[in-house]
């Protein structure tokens, strides 16, 4: 069956590229590290996805073989060249949740793992590239010891790990049982005999020194939690017995990747059992497991955390606003905005299991006594707003719809005292379209004309700026998108006037005209690059690296499956983790 | 008969020899030679190196004249007789310890000059930043090599309990453009060092980690770390080159932590735990209080010889600190790019210089031998751009302060570097703690020629 893509073509990419490659844009310099300029990004990716120069019709035939098949994915597509995996330090939330699942809430409350360091917008990318410091190792030692000490307050759990009654401090066999059972859960794989012996020696020294078997238990738990096998996701893979040029993540590596990706925590015992039994060695087994994981409450929390990261909602925690401009700004309002955005996403993903792209133009939101009045909304059932959030229709006149008209993004993507069409446009290019925007250059004037009679509105001020060809080449890709959102001020309040002038909010994105958030979302959701970008972002977080040119075509093909399943995000997650791009790794280099 | 000499380093030697002898610190008068310029046994007094950073450059003389790049920062006159500019006026009490260097050029440039990224990596490491721009993703960068404080720690870090410490005051940091803008200290491109922003955490790190010699947990902790090291070494055999290097760093850090567990606490009277935690109040950062407490703790750390190297990030690169104590409500990065806010930017710079001056004054007030801690320190102040408005990496603000243990020119001067490689300043600073150092930086930023004008 030949499916036509003309209904959702990629004109915007070409438009953006034309602008970015224009004269005066400083992006043309190739780095001495071999990385290419930004304009190569979308071109390279989508050209490959479209099977070369044959245009969008080509992508149909390229992708149709695998689309829609539930068992697709056991045979890697010829184009797939998986990147070599790196050691991936557990993220802050992974570490804390793993301690919770291994030892309980008490121990989880006393750990303080290092902060994450994002690279390219993803914590997971930084965690796969950076090395530990003295301070981090010290923190991990302190946290492990504190967690182990707290765990000794829950002897029922400790005894369950032991499965034996110690005969005395010198009962090495009983220590060995604990190392094997607890170690397997903490390291997410069975320990070798040599590893068990190494850690039994740690337990024995402590037990014999103190004369207390359980001092040995406490010390060995602390030691196992400092091991690189706990701290890093080790994803070395193993050669496919049928074709040694291919490497797949082992069952235990896959269980680990699945659990941290889908539930932000360590694999549960049943999942490790499944890995032991070889159930994660093929796509069907992986689908089954992923479906089960998505039914756990932790899956919802994990996606909340993921969206808080990629949509930058967590910046609301410390976001400052100019009290002279927005006296109503408060930490409570900021948190309500974050909740509003997450509730919309949860509604689409979990309650409705609907077309995920609705998050861009849904004509309703979730409001309470913080955000409801900010938007001028009245409670749907009448009466007064309360603390609780109510699903509320959005009046068309506000042009609101989807996340782009919500307070959270409008506040984060703004300056402290004003809006920023540039930041809004940059976010949409980067986070929603997966395009690269180059960094601002050095040694250029960054003066923006002040608000005045000639240019009363932010749009007019920036449009003056855009007459500078050195700036325009790149700002043309960003600012116009933001111009169409100028009805929402720097904390998302609707306005039609700025400095006494009417704000013109009719603008263009990728050749399509729009006015306001809902129309912008409507335009974006029709663009294939947007649904491909949903996949790319999930992959970046789940696999710990930005997809390479050897992986991108496979991810682009997956978009067909995404569409075939009505753009269900839950279904996409299952398809993604079963995909060869997610399951395979290159040979360590 | 072997003569017992009082020596600060006995603290560590005693540890290594297993004979736990805790010594009185700060040093006793008996420890110094007759003129107080060295220890009695001839060992030189310890020397310290600090990098001190603020983001977004300084205000322009005339922001509306595109042909005028003069900074309000720049002093009048050259040499010793220079006059502090109003922006630098807070340095009045320590002026003789300050050399102001103008017209440095950052030669450590990636061909794609990138506002702020070029300035901070180039200035503080002498290496061009490394571009991290995979297709279709946000741009990011990391330092091209170790920052100068970490180069110094490589030379002298093993002589103290902590090789170095990293301090942050304002929390309004940009983390989304990679480690370059996020952190000031980098042990290497892949090893940024996270600073502490909570004074209580710094207190705990400096004074709270010492384990009593008879603590029964000590051997057990060391033993656990030995087992972990064995795991790391075995894991190294299965991974690629990059990961092996990351694990080398992991191993080195385990060894360092083992050394810290074994260290003997100096009998230096520890200060009280500070009450300040750097928590916002009504959305406002307690900048003044945090700066003061952090500086005080750092001075004590030097006094007790707990570390000799520090980095101090006062505000962030592209940071959005609000100088609310000046009546301001806008973010620092925003005002640095607003010609109409030049006065606000100017006021923020004066405030920043006050914060730096406080640290210098406290060091000066802390006696050591015949002089003071400032005599035996080198502090390098820098930013990430000259002025935010022009995004220029030429003539970024630069102060080299302290006596450098006699290695730096005193009294200080205003020096027009005339476009010299900014890495020449790094090498001059490095030589104050490592006289044998011959080179810093790399690629176009490499220097083998320390800036002689600011050296004694």
Alpha carbon of A376: minimum distance to chain B alpha carbons (Å): 25
Q: Which residues of B fall within a CB distance of 8 Å from A415?
A: 330-331, 334
Mean pLDDT over B30-34 rounds to 53
Separation of alpha carbons A179 and A118, rounded Å: 34
Angle, CA of A532, A534 and A540, to the nearest 5°: 100
User: Cβ of B130 and A33 within 8 Å?
Assistant: yes
Separation of alpha carbons B243 and A228, rounded Å: 12
Residue B17: partners with Cβ closer than 8 Å, 6 or more residues away: none
Q: Are B426 and B149 in contact (CB under 8 A)?
A: no
Q: Which residues of A fall within a CB distance of 8 Å from B139?
A: 38, 120, 436-439
Q: Are A392 and A377 in contact (CB under 8 A)?
A: yes
In 3-state terms, what secondary structure has residue A269?
helix
Q: Which residues of A fall within a CB distance of 8 Å from B130?
A: 33
From the list B115, B187, B338, the residue facing A440 with the nearest CB is: B115
User: Cβ of A35 and B134 within 8 Å?
Assistant: yes
In 3-state terms, what secondary structure has residue B316?
coil
Q: What is the 3-state secondary structure (H, E, C) of A192-225?
A: CHHHHHHHHHHHHHHHHHHCCHHHHHHHHHHHHC
Mean pLDDT over B195-213 rounds to 95
- For B350-397, the pLDDT digits (tens) are 999 999 999 999 999 999 999 999 999 999 999 999 998 888 999 999
Taking 50 as the threshold, does the pLDDT of residue A75 lie above it? yes
Separation of alpha carbons A44 and A62, rounded Å: 16
User: Cβ of B391 and A331 within 8 Å?
Assistant: no
Mean pLDDT (chain A) is 88
**Higher-scoring residue by pLDDT: B314, B392:** B314
Mean pLDDT over A447-467 rounds to 84
Separation of alpha carbons A586 and A154, rounded Å: 43
Selected residue of B224, B260, B287, B348 to mutate for chain A interface (largest A Cβ count, 10 A): B224
pLDDT band at residue B7 using 50, 70 and 90 as cut-offs? very low
pLDDT band at residue B128 using 50, 70 and 90 as cut-offs? very high
| Residue B58, token pair as written in the block | 């300084």
Q: What is the largest CA-CA distance in chain A?
A: 88
User: Cβ of A86 and B243 within 8 Å?
Assistant: yes
| Residue B14, token pair as written in the block | 């005693």
Alpha carbon of A536: minimum distance to chain B alpha carbons (Å): 9
Q: Are B143 and B129 in contact (CB under 8 A)?
A: yes
User: Cβ of B235 and A229 within 8 Å?
Assistant: yes
Q: What is the DSSP code string of A313-328?
A: GGGGGT----TTT-TT
User: Cβ of A198 and B230 within 8 Å?
Assistant: yes
B194 → chain A, closest CA residue: A135
Taking 60 as the threshold, does the pLDDT of residue A562 lie above it? yes
Separation of alpha carbons A373 and B406, rounded Å: 65
User: H or E stretch including B288?
Assistant: helix B287-303
A547 contact B CB<8A:
yes
Cis peptide before B26 (omega within 30 of 0): yes
* Predicted local distance difference test score (pLDDT) of residue B35: 55
Per mean pLDDT, which range of A91-100, A145-154, A414-423 is the poorest?
A: A414-423
In 3-state terms, what secondary structure has residue B344?
helix
User: Cβ of B225 and A446 within 8 Å?
Assistant: no
Residue B136: partners with Cβ closer than 8 Å, 6 or more residues away: A41, A42, A45, A434, A435, A436, A536, A546, A547, A552
In 3-state terms, what secondary structure has residue A436?
coil
Q: Are A240 and A248 in contact (CB under 8 A)?
A: yes
pLDDT band at residue B190 using 50, 70 and 90 as cut-offs? very high
A536 contact B CB<8A:
yes
* Predicted local distance difference test score (pLDDT) of residue A1: 33
Selected residue of B67, B117, B135 to mutate for chain A interface (largest A Cβ count, 10 A): B135
* Predicted local distance difference test score (pLDDT) of residue A60: 33
Q: Which residues of B fall within a CB distance of 8 Å from A318?
A: 171-172, 280
The Cα-based distances of B267 to B24, B33, B203, B270 in angstroms read: 5, 22, 16, 8
Q: Which residues of B fall within a CB distance of 8 Å from A228?
A: 228, 231-232, 235, 247, 250
pLDDT band at residue A61 using 50, 70 and 90 as cut-offs? very low
| Residue B63, token pair as written in the block | 């922001």
Selected residue of A115, A131, A319 to mutate for chain B interface (largest B Cβ count, 10 A): A131
Alpha carbon of B166: minimum distance to chain A alpha carbons (Å): 10
A-B C-beta contacts closer than 8 Å: 287
* Predicted local distance difference test score (pLDDT) of residue A517: 98
Taking 80 as the threshold, does the pLDDT of residue A91 lie above it? yes
A241 contact B CB<8A:
no
Taking 70 as the threshold, does the pLDDT of residue B5 lie above it? no
Q: Which residues of B fall within a CB distance of 8 Å from A331?
A: 283
Separation of alpha carbons B319 and B392, rounded Å: 17
From the list A133, A418, A443, the residue facing B391 with the nearest CB is: A443
Mean pLDDT (chain B) is 91
User: Cβ of B320 and A430 within 8 Å?
Assistant: no
| Residue A174, token pair as written in the block | 């009983």
Q: Look at chain A and count its residues.
A: 589
Q: Which residues of B fall within a CB distance of 8 Å from A223?
A: 223-224, 227-228
From the list A26, A32, A439, the residue facing B117 with the nearest CB is: A439
* Predicted local distance difference test score (pLDDT) of residue B268: 84
Q: Are A449 and A465 in contact (CB under 8 A)?
A: yes
B187 → chain A, closest CA residue: A133
Q: Are B320 and A416 in contact (CB under 8 A)?
A: yes
User: Cβ of A442 and B118 within 8 Å?
Assistant: yes
The Cα-based distances of A294 to A30, A263, A298, A351, B93 in angstroms read: 42, 8, 8, 13, 64
* Predicted local distance difference test score (pLDDT) of residue A272: 98
User: Cβ of B166 and A135 within 8 Å?
Assistant: yes
Paired sense of beta strands B48-53 and B377-382, if any: parallel
Taking 70 as the threshold, does the pLDDT of residue B260 lie above it? yes
Listed by number, the residues of chain A in 191-230 with a beta carbon closer than 8 Å to a beta carbon of chain B are: 195, 198-199, 201-202, 205-206, 209-210, 219-220, 222-223, 226-229
Listed by number, the residues of chain A in 556-585 with a beta carbon closer than 8 Å to a beta carbon of chain B are: none
Separation of alpha carbons B92 and B114, rounded Å: 35
User: Cβ of A87 and B260 within 8 Å?
Assistant: no
Separation of alpha carbons B68 and B58, rounded Å: 14
| Residue B140, token pair as written in the block | 């990011």
Residue A211: partners with Cβ closer than 8 Å, 6 or more residues away: A169
3-state DSSP percent of chain B in helix, strand and coil, to 5: 40, 15, 45
* Predicted local distance difference test score (pLDDT) of residue B32: 56
From the list A118, A133, A546, the residue facing B191 with the nearest CB is: A133
A252 contact B CB<8A:
no
Alpha carbon of B222: minimum distance to chain A alpha carbons (Å): 10
Per mean pLDDT, which range of B18-22, B87-91, B221-225 is the poorest?
A: B18-22
Angle, CA of B263, B264 and B265, to the nearest 5°: 115
- Comparing CA positions, the residue from A546, A24, A470 lying closest to residue B133 is A546
- Comparing CA positions, the residue from B48, B130, B133 lying closest to residue B362 is B48
- For A274-332, the pLDDT digits (tens) are 999 999 999 999 999 999 999 999 999 999 999 999 999 999 998 989 999 999 999 99
Cis peptide before A353 (omega within 30 of 0): no
pLDDT band at residue A450 using 50, 70 and 90 as cut-offs? confident
Alpha carbon of A484: minimum distance to chain B alpha carbons (Å): 22
- For B401-414, the pLDDT digits (tens) are 999 999 999 999 99
User: H or E stretch including B419?
Assistant: strand B414-421
From the list B119, B223, B249, the residue facing A202 with the nearest CB is: B223
| Residue A177, token pair as written in the block | 């049982």
User: Cβ of A135 and B194 within 8 Å?
Assistant: yes
Separation of alpha carbons A66 and A203, rounded Å: 52
User: Cβ of A135 and B390 within 8 Å?
Assistant: no
Q: Which residues of B fall within a CB distance of 8 Å from A130?
A: 179, 190-192, 246
The Cα-based distances of A215 to A208, A239, A254, B428 in angstroms read: 9, 42, 34, 52
Helix axes A134-151, B217-236, angle to 10 degrees: 120
Selected residue of A119, A230, A308, A475 to mutate for chain B interface (largest B Cβ count, 10 A): A119
Taking 70 as the threshold, does the pLDDT of residue B227 lie above it? yes
Measured over the CA atoms of residue A536, residue A538, residue A542 and residue A545, the dihedral's sign is positive
> What are the φ/ψ torsions at residue B286 (nearest 5 degrees)?
-80, 65
Separation of alpha carbons B254 and B322, rounded Å: 39
User: Cβ of B339 and A137 within 8 Å?
Assistant: no
Paired sense of beta strands B398-401 and A512-515, if any: unpaired
Q: Which residues of A fall within a CB distance of 8 Å from B177?
A: 439
* Predicted local distance difference test score (pLDDT) of residue A467: 81
* Predicted local distance difference test score (pLDDT) of residue B11: 40
Selected residue of A117, A128, A133 to mutate for chain B interface (largest B Cβ count, 10 A): A133
Q: Are A203 and A179 in contact (CB under 8 A)?
A: yes
Angle, CA of B430, B436 and B439, to the nearest 5°: 60
| Residue B201, token pair as written in the block | 């955490």
- Comparing CA positions, the residue from A423, A397, A395 lying closest to residue A410 is A423
B165 → chain A, closest CA residue: A135
A34 contact B CB<8A:
no
- Residue A500 CB-density burial (10 A; 0-12 exposed, 13-18 middle, 19+ buried): exposed
- Comparing CA positions, the residue from A10, A19, A9, A11 lying closest to residue A425 is A19
Question: 10 Å Cβ neighbour count for A178?
Answer: 25
Q: What is the DSSP code string of B351-378?
A: HHHHHHHHHHHHHHTSEETTEEGGGGEE
Taking 60 as the threshold, does the pLDDT of residue A174 lie above it? yes
Separation of alpha carbons A537 and A433, rounded Å: 10
Taking 90 as the threshold, does the pLDDT of residue B67 lie above it? no
The Cα-based distances of B316 to A7, A242, B425, B453 in angstroms read: 46, 53, 22, 30
Q: Are A458 and A484 in contact (CB under 8 A)?
A: no
User: Cβ of B190 and A129 within 8 Å?
Assistant: yes
pLDDT band at residue A267 using 50, 70 and 90 as cut-offs? very high
């Amino acid at each position: 069956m030949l499916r036509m893509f003309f209904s959702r073509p990629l004109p915007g990419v070409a438009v953006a590229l034309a602008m970015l490659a224009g004269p005066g844009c400083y992006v043309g310099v190739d780095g001495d590290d071999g990385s290419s300029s930004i304009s190569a990004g979308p071109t390279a990716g989508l050209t490959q996805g479209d099977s070369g120069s044959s245009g969008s019709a080509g992508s149909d035939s390229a992708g149709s073989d695998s689309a829609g098949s539930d068992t697709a994915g056991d045979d890697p597509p010829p184009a797939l060249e998986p990147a070599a995996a790196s050691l991936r330090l557990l993220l802050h939330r992974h570490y804390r949740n793993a301690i919770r699942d291994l030892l309980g809430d008490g121990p989880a409350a006393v750990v303080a793992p290092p902060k994450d360091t994002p690279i390219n917008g993803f914590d997971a990318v930084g965690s796969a590239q950076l090395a530990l410091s003295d301070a981090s190792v010290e923190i991990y030692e302190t946290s492990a010891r504190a967690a182990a000490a707290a765990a000794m307050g829950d002897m029922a759990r400790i005894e369950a790990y032991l499965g034996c009654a110690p005969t005395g401090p010198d009962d090495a066999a009983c220590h060995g049982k604990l190392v094997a059972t607890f170690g397997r859960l903490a390291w997410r794989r069975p320990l070798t005999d040599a590893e068990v012996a190494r850690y039994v020696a740690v337990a024995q020294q402590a037990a014999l020194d103190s004369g207390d078997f359980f001092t040995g238990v406490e010390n060995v738990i602390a030691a196992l939690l400092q091991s690189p096998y706990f701290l890093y996701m080790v994803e070395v893979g193993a050669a496919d017995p049928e074709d040694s040029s291919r490497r797949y993540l082992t069952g235990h590596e896959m269980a680990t990747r699945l659990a941290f990706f889908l539930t932000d925590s360590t694999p549960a015992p049943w999942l490790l059992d499944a890995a032991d039994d070889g159930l994660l060695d093929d796509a069907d087994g992986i689908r089954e497991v992923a479906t089960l994981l998505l039914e756990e409450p932790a899956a919802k929390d994990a996606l909340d955390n993921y969206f808080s990261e990629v949509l930058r909602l967590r910046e609301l925690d410390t976001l400052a606003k100019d009290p002279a401009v927005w006296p109503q700004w408060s930490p409570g309002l900021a948190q309500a905005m974050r909740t509003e955005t997450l509730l919309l996403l949860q509604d689409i993903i979990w309650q409705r299991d609907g077309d995920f792209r609705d998050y861009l133009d849904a004509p309703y939101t979730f409001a309470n006594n913080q955000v409801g009045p900010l938007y001028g909304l009245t409670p749907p059932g009448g009466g007064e707003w309360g603390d609780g959030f109510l699903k509320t229709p959005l009046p068309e006149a506000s042009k609101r719809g989807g996340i782009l008209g919500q307070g959270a993004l409008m506040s984060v993507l703004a300056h402290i005292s004003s809006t920023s069409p540039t930041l809004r446009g940059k976010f949409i290019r980067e986070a929603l379209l997966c395009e690269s925007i180059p960094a601002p250059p050095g040694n250029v004037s960054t003066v923006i004309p002040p608000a005045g009679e000639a240019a009363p509105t932010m749009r007019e001020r920036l449009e003056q700026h855009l007459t500078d060809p050195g700036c325009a080449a790149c700002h043309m890709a960003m600012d116009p998108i933001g111009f169409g959102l100028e009805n929402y001020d720097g904390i998302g309040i609707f306005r039609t006037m700025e400095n006494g002038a009417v704000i013109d909010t009719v603008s263009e994105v990728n050749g399509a005209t729009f006015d306001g958030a809902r129309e912008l979302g409507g335009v974006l959701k029709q663009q294939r690059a947007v649904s491909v970008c949903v996949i790319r972002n999930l992959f970046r977080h789940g696999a710990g690296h930005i997809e390479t040119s050897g992986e991108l075509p496979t991810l682009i093909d997956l978009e067909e499956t995404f569409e075939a399943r009505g753009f269900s995000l839950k279904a996409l997650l299952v398809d993604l983790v079963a995909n060869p791009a997610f399951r395979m790794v290159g040979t360590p280099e | 008969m072997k003569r017992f000499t009082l020596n600060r380093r006995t603290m560590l030697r005693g540890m290594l020899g297993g004979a736990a002898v805790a010594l009185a610190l700060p040093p006793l008068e008996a420890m110094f030679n007759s003129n107080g310029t060295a220890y009695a046994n001839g060992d030189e007094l310890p020397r310290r190196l600090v990098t001190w950073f603020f983001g977004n450059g300084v205000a322009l003389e005339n922001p509306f004249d595109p042909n005028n790049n003069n900074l309000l920062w720049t002093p009048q006159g050259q040499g010793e007789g220079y006059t502090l500019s109003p922006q630098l006026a807070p340095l009045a009490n320590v002026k003789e310890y300050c050399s102001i260097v103008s017209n440095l050029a950052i030669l450590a440039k990636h061909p794609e000059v990138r506002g702020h990224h070029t300035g901070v990596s180039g200035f503080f490491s002498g290496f061009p930043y490394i571009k991290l721009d995979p297709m279709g993703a946000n741009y990011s960068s990391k330092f091209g090599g170790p920052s100068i404080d970490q180069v110094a720690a490589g030379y002298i870090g093993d002589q103290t309990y902590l090789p170095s410490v990293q301090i942050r005051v304002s929390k309004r940091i940009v983390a989304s453009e990679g480690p370059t803008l996020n952190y000031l200290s980098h042990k290497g491109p892949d090893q940024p060092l996270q600073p502490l922003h909570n004074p209580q955490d710094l207190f705990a790190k400096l004074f709270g980690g010492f384990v009593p010699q008879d603590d029964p947990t000590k051997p057990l902790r060391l033993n656990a770390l030995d087992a972990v090291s064995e795991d790391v070494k075995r894991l190294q055999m299965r991974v690629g080159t990059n990961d092996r290097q990351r694990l080398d760093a992991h191993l080195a850090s385990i060894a360092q932590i083992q050394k810290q567990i074994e260290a003997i606490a100096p009998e230096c009277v520890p200060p009280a735990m500070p009450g300040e935690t750097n928590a916002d109040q009504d959305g406002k950062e307690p900048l003044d209080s945090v700066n003061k407490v952090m500086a005080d703790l750092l001075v004590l750390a030097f006094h007790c010889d707990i570390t000799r190297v520090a980095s101090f990030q006062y505000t962030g690169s592209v940071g959005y600190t609000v100088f609310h104590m000046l009546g301001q409500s806008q973010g620092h990065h925003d005002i640095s790019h607003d010609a109409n806010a030049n006065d606000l930017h100017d006021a923020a710079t004066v405030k920043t210089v006050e914060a730096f001056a406080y640290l210098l004054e406290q060091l000066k007030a802390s006696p050591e031998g015949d002089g003071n801690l400032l005599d035996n320190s080198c502090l390098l102040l820098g930013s990430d751009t000259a002025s935010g408005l022009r995004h220029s990496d030429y003539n970024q603000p630069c102060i080299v302060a302290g006596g450098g243990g006699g290695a730096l020119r005193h009294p200080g001067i205003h020096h027009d570097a005339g476009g010299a490689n900014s890495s020449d300043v790094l090498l001059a600073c490095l030589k104050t703690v490592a006289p044998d150092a011959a080179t810093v930086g790399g690629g176009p930023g490499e220097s083998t020629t320390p800036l002689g004008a600011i050296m004694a």
